[in-house]
Homo-oligomer: A and B are copies of this chain.
């Protein structure tokens, strides 16, 4: 019977028709876009023609897809550095416990320039936040004067970084 072919076709149709995931507003990514992202995870400046050759698309098509991925916020092409070499000598992860509105505290942390990373978690901390500072004084100031000063912050625990062993950006490249 031809039901298999029909199912395959309808799946293709869904892929191309609906660019959005039903659960949230995140756009849907097909295999080709994923392959393009992989290429750019290896080298953010790789030419469109080279990417096209790798994923089986014309240069113009790759260009349009990349532009859309950037516009949609699915990916960004940026330079990433080791903070130490750029003059930030103290980093720490801070575990935070909150009473009341966790998301409000998370938003407040998000607004701080020294806070690089904020995530709400399940477990013995409500929030984990990564702090990037120039020196010890700066770090102390951020943790004690700014974070702990937030109303609703019940307690914090700090983990000062001693040595960064790994930091990759290769999701999807494995």
User: Which of B45, B85, B160, B169 sits near A26, CB closer than 8 Å?
Assistant: B85
A103 to B162, CA, bound (A): 11
Q: Mark A47-71, 1 if CB is under 8 A from B, else 0.
A: 0000000000000000000000000
Q: Is the CB of A78 within 8 A of B78?
A: yes
Q: Is the CB of A29 within 8 A of B77?
A: no
The chain B residue with its CB closest to the CB of A161 is: B119
Binds B, one of A2-10, A104-112, A138-146, A147-155: A104-112
Residues of chain A at the chain B interface (Cβ within 8 Å) = 26-27, 29, 34, 37, 40-45, 73-88, 92-93, 95, 103, 106-107, 109-110, 113, 115-125, 128, 132, 157-169, 171-172, 174
